[in-house]
Structure 1
């Protein structure tokens, strides 16, 4: 939490009363309100090493904000493609599709707030933009794999967990992702 405040001060941003923290090492997401932990969730981050670089498939680090909340009113387990509900629960799909990491239940789309680190391009011209990489916090059809790295860069949660979190957070709330 202290690092988030320091980063906000360095970027000239006001901390939000609601904060999500993601620990890649511990595979845990914490939801805080007014500096107090409200709930923690076991998650899955990238199977690959953390990375902010486009096409790395790594979970990006640093300070982000929720830029979109997608899926309100959809039933738990509904599958999204290109941020649009398909109308199908993941269990209704064929075995080949179910084997993949699907985006289910709700989507919290992230935007990086640190130019050159997780927004825009870095000093060597590589794209490091979390928003352009379509990195989300979302539900998964592989809840049995939560607690271990498995995603393609997103932060995956249980379907009931993302339902709870979705109702608690607002667009522009901060998200801190660290190793």
Structure 2
């Protein structure tokens, strides 16, 4: 492989380590702590699991929004998360600050469907996104997405483009 064949930026999400590492021209940056699915690894629709395999960032959402902006259905609600809002809605799955919407590239693994039904990362609305800073990192607690600290997702957001490769590995 020639040096020119290496993507400028790519992301690797290690589920066992609960980290997201950015590679720029093949050189790793210090990993970000993350939180993946409480239900473990999996790609089936409604599983609440985090999918493995090769993906790309299909869409970047929220680039001009203030930190802690609340998103529902990928649209800013006008709310800015704080502890009071969090205690008003304790059961809400908070999607904050920025969204990197993932699209799977492997048919029957994380794209389209397989013998068990739908397994499409994009159709499952799997994102890398911000979460309340009070939420633990390094422990699988999400509903399938990859959660990050708000400052971290904002930093990552400016480093990546739509089409940036993202690989989710077991460990």
* TM above 0.5: yes
Per the alignment, residue 117 of structure 1 pairs with: 109
Q: How many angstroms does 1:89 deviate by?
A: 1.2
Aligned residues: 166
Counterpart CA distance in 2 for 1:154 and 1:134 is 8
Q: How many angstroms does 1:16 deviate by?
A: 2.5
Counterpart CA distance in 2 for 1:174 and 1:148 is 24
- In structure 2, runs of 5+ residues without a counterpart are none
Please list, as runs of the form range in 1=range in 2, the aligned pairs for 1:77-96 lying within 5 A after superposition. 77-91=68-82, 93=85, 95-96=87-88
Match of 1:44 among 21, 32, 35: 35
RMSD over equivalenced CA pairs, Å: 1.6
Give 4+ residue runs of structure 1 displaced > 6 Å after superposition. none
Match of 2:131 among 135, 140, 143: 140
Q: How many angstroms does 1:44 deviate by?
A: 0.2
Match of 2:92 among 84, 100, 108: 100
Q: How many angstroms does 1:145 deviate by?
A: 0.8
Counterpart CA distance in 1 for 2:106 and 2:141 is 26
Q: How many angstroms does 1:15 deviate by?
A: 5.4
User: Does 134-143 or 60-69 show the bigger shift?
Assistant: 134-143
Per the alignment, residue 70 of structure 1 pairs with: 61
Distance 1:40 1:126, change over 3 A: same
Q: How many angstroms does 1:165 deviate by?
A: 0.3
User: Does 133-142 or 93-102 show the bigger shift?
Assistant: 93-102
Distance 1:143 1:19, change over 3 A: farther
Q: How many angstroms does 1:38 deviate by?
A: 2.2
Per the alignment, residue 9 of structure 1 pairs with: none
